[in-house]
Amino acid sequence: MDLARQQLGQDTLAQLEALEARAKLLTERQDESRSISDSMERARREIQDLQDKRDELRQRLCNQPRHSLNELLNFPANESRDRPRERRCAFLRAKIMQLESLLQIYNLAGISMNFNNENRELQVWLNTATAGKYHESYTVELNDPLDHAMKLCRHSLPPVMPVADLSCQFLPHDPRAFLWALSEHLNSFVMRREMVRRTENEFEDMLLGGIASNAMYTLIEFSFRFPTNDEDVSMEIRLEFADLLQIRPCKVKIAVIGGCDGDYNQEVEKLKQNLLFNPLPEALRHLCLD
The pLDDT score that the predictor gives to residue 77 is 47
CA distances from 201 to 91, 150, 223 (A): 56, 43, 15
User: Could you report the per-residue pLDDT of 243-282, keeping only the tens digit for each?
Assistant: 999 999 999 999 988 766 567 788 889 999 999 999 999 9
How many Å apart are CA 152 and CA 246, to the nearest integer?
26
φ and ψ of 239, to 5 deg? -115, 130
pTM metric for this prediction: 0.63
* Number of residues that make up the chain: 290
Largest CA distance in the chain: 119
Residues 264, 226 contacting (CB under 8 angstroms): yes
User: Could you report the per-residue pLDDT of 207-228, keeping only the tens digit for each?
Assistant: 998 899 999 999 999 999 887 7
Taking 3-state DSSP, the helix, strand and coil percentages for the chain, each rounded to the nearest 5, stand at: 55, 20, 25
How many Å apart are CA 179 and CA 198, to the nearest integer?
28
Q: Return all residues near 31 (Cβ < 8 A) that are at least 6 apart.
A: none
Residue among 154, 145, 169 nearest 67 (CA): 145
